[in-house]
Amino acid sequence: MNNSQTNITLDKLQVGYNMQALHEAFSSKVNTGEFICIIGKNGTGKSTLLRTLAGIQKPVSGQIFLNETDMGHLSLKKIARRIALVLTESLQDPYIRVFDLIALGRQVYTDWKHHLSEVDKNMIHHAISVTQTGELLNKEFYKLSDGQKQRVQLARALAQDTANIFLDEPTNHLDIQYKMDTFLLLQKMARQNQKSILLSTHEISFAMQLADRIWLFDEGNIRDIKPQDKETPQIIEKIFNTESIRFNPKTSTFDFLKK
Amino acid sequence: MSTANKYSERLILVGLLLFLLVVWLLNISLGSVYISFQDILNVLFKPDYADTTSYQIIVEYRLPKSITAIITGAALSVSGLLLQTLFRNPMAGPSVLGISSGAGLGVALLILGSQLVGWPLLAESGASFPIIISAIIGAVLVLLLIIGISFRVKSSVTLLIIGLMLGALTTAIISILTYFSKATQLQQFMFWSFGSLGHLTYQELRILGSIVLVVLLSIIPFLKNLNALLLGENYARSMGVSVQRVKQIILLASGILIGVITAWTGPIAFIGLTVPHIARLLLKTSNHFILYPAIILIGSSFLLVCDSVSQLPFNEMVIPVNAITSLIGAPLVIWLILKKKNIVRL
């Protein structure tokens, strides 16, 4: 992975709403096959950053380059061939079935009739087998458990066949088993399929153990750190320690302080 | 996958087409005078029946009325589907959101308002060009207002309440206008507002039919994008759909459909809201490629049935068709809400 390419370049980027930036300018890169976690407290701008990088929201200042092209000059279709997105938004529709939902990932490649070619079908079946969603295909999406829903949305993103997959808090509402499974699956997709995975999360200990890099929202600054760096535990302690919990660098967990 | 599924969907579509044909024939044969299927076929296909009274009743009255019902049912139902997908709200529809009232206000301002300012340009009956334009403008303006509001409030309940309030507002303005109106204009407007499928000439039908057909055809390239919109606007964007453009096209299309239909037939309630739900229940899908043709067929059949009922077969009396669509549509919606709770997760 040492000779990896740069997929996305952030150049003095600021994200936010109504021209109000949520943080100082941030420059970084996303390389092929990297697994990056965005962590930070609630309301610091994790989701906004993710949506901006995915091109569905404009940056307040700075630039994003997708393979050296300024994202501002790219059409939504071109971006959709490079970046797939999994959000926390719930799906209300009571009829949409799992297979049809996954097949929607091929939108950007199909004709107006959404006719699925052999290539489309192969990509869909690949996505289904990676995410192990084969048994769910005929079910109505809204009837699935939260963990299953997440896997199906991931399959849709995989079917989109992009070099990058961004996920907004993909392990919300999941029990510990599903959280672990999701993180491991995402890590595997980065390692084996050379996808660049960028996700926002509150699971600091998972991020510390599995991520290649962490983008950490620290009081108006975004820090670009690696879990194994010496000073990383101190930075995390500084942000997340409170009167009642303390970060334990050995286990990457938070310990309750006894009174 | 699921070729069995696709097969049964096609079968249902064929069934719906046959149902439409049967209902159409029934609609023509029923009325104050009963005309048998045999006679209908004779009149339609044999030239030597041209002098009979059956011929006159059918060709001059019932046939144009039934074609109007088919066009109107299809157009209103499609606009309902478009609005429900656009707002991601199962309770959206032309009349619920006050869009029909908007068209009504446009017409009222024209018919009733023009004479207030001493501008008697609309003495003749029927839908003249100005009536159609003012109905479209009224519908599109209310639509734009609703869109503006829907950016601020995401809750379905709030949106519905605002739609009702807009309806109340337009009704109030209309009642003020009627209070100051002369009897002839008032009568003209009242007849219009009852909703009526009759009295369209073949000439008018050709115009109405072409407009509706063009709009219906121009929506087809966007059906794929509508499916993506089911996941929400952010997801649709992430899959390469330029949501802004699709939104504008959907809004313009629904505005034109509701506007032209309302201009000619008057406000016809509940079709746009109810028919998409019937189609989803029947086909168990929200895939627009299947829903779209299904809704056109069901919408046409639904209004033909309502029209047949409003004729009170074998009787001289006629009830305004608007009353019938509400009488059938309102309980259906209540039943849907009670029966299928997941349809309305407000």
Task: Specify the higher pLDDT residue, B265 or B339.
Answer: B265
pLDDT of residue B73: 97
| Ranges of H-type helices in A90-244 | 98-103, 118-131, 146-159, 176-193, 204-210, 232-240
Looking at residues B291-318, what average pLDDT do you find? 90
Asked whether residue B156 carries a pLDDT value surpassing 80, the answer given is no
pLDDT tens for residues A27-69? Answer: 999 999 999 999 998 889 999 999 999 998 899 999 999 998 9
Looking at residues A241-251, what average pLDDT do you find? 86
Of chain A, the percentage scoring pLDDT greater than 70 comes to 98
- Which of A91-105, B30-44, B119-133 has the lowest average pLDDT? B119-133
Residues of B with CB under 8 A from a CB of A: 1-2, 88, 220-221, 223-225, 227-228, 230-232, 234-235, 237-242, 280, 284-287, 289, 340, 342-343, 345
Looking at residues A156-170, what average pLDDT do you find? 96
- Other beta carbons less than 10 A from residue A244's beta carbon: 11
Which residue of A81, A95, A153 to mutate against B (max B Cβ within 10 Å)? Answer: A95
Looking at residues B64-73, what average pLDDT do you find? 96
pLDDT of residue B344: 47
**What pTM, to 2 d.p., does this model score?**
0.89
**Of B234, B289, B342, which has the smallest distance from its Cβ to A51's Cβ?**
B234
Chain B residues within an 8 Å CB radius of A55: 237-238
Asked whether residue A123 carries a pLDDT value surpassing 90, the answer given is yes
Asked whether residue B254 carries a pLDDT value surpassing 50, the answer given is yes
Looking at residues B118-146, what average pLDDT do you find? 72
Q: Rank A16-25, B84-93, B293-302 by mean pLDDT and report only the highest.
A: B293-302
Strand residue runs (E) in chain A:
6-14, 16-17, 20-21, 26-31, 35-39, 61-66, 69-70, 83-86, 164-168, 196-200, 213-218, 221-225, 245-248, 253-256
Looking at residues A222-243, what average pLDDT do you find? 90
CA distance A18 to chain B (A): 14
Asked whether residue B194 carries a pLDDT value surpassing 80, the answer given is no
pLDDT of residue B127: 52
Looking at residues B39-56, what average pLDDT do you find? 81
pLDDT tens for residues B174-188? Answer: 888 888 888 877 887
pLDDT of residue A130: 93
Is the ipTM reported for this complex over the cut 0.95?
no
pLDDT of residue B1: 45
Q: What is the mean pLDDT of chain B?
A: 84
Using alpha carbons, list the distances in angstroms from residue A200 to A85, A136, A169.
Answer: 12, 26, 5
Residue A108 touches partner B, C-beta closer than 8 Å = yes
Looking at residues B12-35, what average pLDDT do you find? 92
pLDDT of residue B4: 59
Which residues are CB-contacts of B8 (< 8 A; sequence separation ≥ 6)? none
pLDDT of residue B267: 83
Chain A residues within an 8 Å CB radius of B282: none
For residue B119, with 0-12 CB atoms within 10 Å meaning exposed, 13-18 middle and 19 or more buried, which class applies? Answer: exposed
Asked whether residue A2 carries a pLDDT value surpassing 50, the answer given is no
pLDDT of residue A111: 93
Which residues are CB-contacts of B81 (< 8 A; sequence separation ≥ 6)? B275, B276, B279, B288, B291, B292, B295
Looking at residues B308-320, what average pLDDT do you find? 80
Q: Is A142–B342 a contact, with Cβ atoms under 8 angstroms apart?
A: yes
Asked whether residue B340 carries a pLDDT value surpassing 90, the answer given is no
Looking at residues B191-216, what average pLDDT do you find? 89
Which residue of A89, A92, A123, A128 to mutate against B (max B Cβ within 10 Å)? Answer: A92
Answer for the pair A96, A140: CB distance below 8 angstroms, yes or no: yes
Asked whether residue B154 carries a pLDDT value surpassing 70, the answer given is no
pLDDT of residue B117: 63
pLDDT of residue A79: 96
pLDDT tens for residues B257-280? Answer: 998 898 888 888 889 999 999 999
Chain A residues within an 8 Å CB radius of B240: 75-77, 79-81, 107-108
Q: What is the mean pLDDT of chain A?
A: 92
Asked whether residue B2 carries a pLDDT value surpassing 60, the answer given is no
pLDDT of residue A9: 96
Using alpha carbons, list the distances in angstroms from residue B101 to A5, B182, B193, B255, B279.
Answer: 58, 22, 10, 12, 25
Domains (range + CATH), chain B? 11-343 (1.10.3470.10)
Answer for the pair B118, B182: CB distance below 8 angstroms, yes or no: no
Looking at residues B44-65, what average pLDDT do you find? 84
Which residues are CB-contacts of B236 (< 8 A; sequence separation ≥ 6)? B225, B228, B229, B243, B246
Q: Rank A25-29, A175-179, B52-56 by mean pLDDT and report only the highest.
A: A25-29
Q: Would you list the DSSP string of B35-64?
A: --HHHHHHHHH-GGGTTSHHHIIIIIIIHH
Residue with tokens 């990056």: A36
For residue B123, name the pLDDT band (cuts at 50, 70, 90). very low
Looking at residues B313-332, what average pLDDT do you find? 83
Taking alpha carbons only, the member of B144, B103, B153 closest to residue B269 is: B103
pLDDT tens for residues A77-105? Answer: 999 999 999 998 888 788 899 999 999 99
Asked whether residue B32 carries a pLDDT value surpassing 80, the answer given is no
- Which of A5-14, A106-115, A233-242 has the lowest average pLDDT? A233-242
Provide the token pair at B155.
Answer: 């809750």
Answer for the pair B80, B288: CB distance below 8 angstroms, yes or no: no
pLDDT of residue A1: 44
Q: What residues pair up with A245 in beta bridges, in sequence order? A: A256
CA distance A154 to chain B (A): 12
